[in-house]
Structure 1
Amino acid sequence: MRRREPGGRVESLGPRQTSPGRDESPEERADRRWNELLQEVRVIQTGVQILFGFLLTVVFTPRFTTLGPTDRTIYVVTVLLGAATTGALIGTVTFHRLVTGHRLKPETVYWASRLALVGIVLLLATVTSALLLILRIAMGNSAVPWVVAGLVAWFMVCWFGLPAWALHRYSSRG
């Protein structure tokens, strides 16, 4: 039995190839990974929808007209980043919907996972931009970039650093 990998590689699977620690076929593994990805996207998408919805209403508030050109630019960038984030995260589901029934579940999981990761990176940029705008208005002092940089560093540790550390530490046990 052979299976096409993302990117065109063909992998020989034999009668039943299992993942370490699990007795599952490649199709079962793809189904499990898809369900896990879908749950992750549901969690992050809720937060993104709330943030993006809030951003869309700001322009209609009386205070918006008092913003200077820099703050308006930051606002526009934030809205565009929020839209791009929403697009990437919803793209995971539409990718699946468009290829369903074509026996491409492993490839779907592969590409949808990458879209979700792009969405997470875009979310980091959106939150950074939103924090910059909000703190510029709320604090209006030179500490704002430092506060935002500190929070971005914290997000980087939580979202990327700890998973990378765990991967390095625990996957080398082999």
Structure 2
Amino acid sequence: MNASNSECDEEPGAGHGDDGRRETESERADRQWTELIQEVRVAQTGVQILFGFLLTVVFTPHFQELGDTDRMIYIVTVILGSTTTGALIGPVSFHRIVSGRRIKPQAVVWASRLTFIGLILLLATLTSALTLVLRVATDNSVVPWLVSGVVAWYVLFWFALPAWARHRHTSAD
């Protein structure tokens, strides 16, 4: 798969996108890389703060009072947080390893894939963390409803709205 496929934000062309840009494949890859890294920085900051907090929870006195189910949710949350961190840092490592090999368009595609996987893992991490916190803070009978509502909110704004906008603004009228 090359950088001009659907994982990148512009359609293929001989340096001429529908948006009126006149850029070479290398210029497009450079721009897309810069945009992607800016996006990753936002997600990385949030997940690193969350993951750092999760790592400290096990050392608090209240952790010892958690039941088996809540401990398992905590373990799953920490593992998800770790894999999310890995996926969102992956594009930086990928770029560093392939830098100078003249494959930036392909690197953009792979980094984009890693970032998307990271966002899905972030959704799972947030879901798991929210489940744990709400199980401790409120009546268990409302937890599934609260978590489902928040997950629906994330899915709507992280995936459904962008997919709808992409479809609406790129399909033939």
TM-score, normalised relative to structure 2: 0.91
Alignment check: 8 A CA contact 1:18 1:26 kept: no
3-state SS, counterpart of residue 141 of structure 2? coil
Structure 2 unaligned residues grouped into runs of 5+: 4-11
Residues 161-172 of structure 1: pairs in structure 2 closer than 5 A: 161-172=160-171
1:71-150 matches, within 5 Å, as 71-150=70-149
In structure 2, the partner of 1:9 is none
Q: Is 2:15–2:21's contact at 8 Å kept on the other side of the alignment?
A: no
Residue 2 (structure 2) aligns with: 5
Q: Report the aligned-residue RMSD.
A: 1.6
Task: Quote the Cα distance in structure 2 between the aligned partners of 1:147 and 1:88.
Answer: 27
In the alignment, structure 1 segments of 5+ residues that lack a partner are: 7-12
**Structure 2: distance between partners of 1:144 and 1:101:** 50
SS in 2 for 1:103: coil
Q: Which aligned segments of 4 or more residues in structure 1 are displaced greater than 3 angstroms?
A: none
Report how far residue 172 of structure 1 moved. Answer: 1.6
TM-score where L is the length of structure 1: 0.90
SS in 2 for 1:50: helix
Aligned length: 164
Once the 2 structures are TM-superposed, how far is the Cα of residue 19 of structure 1 from its aligned partner? Answer: 2.1
Task: Check the 8 A contact 2:15/2:23 in 1, yes or no.
Answer: yes
**Superposition deviation, residue 159 in structure 1:** 0.2
User: 2:149 is matched by which residue type in structure 1?
Assistant: G
- Identical pairs, percent: 63
Q: Which residue number corresponds to residue 39 of structure 2?
A: 40
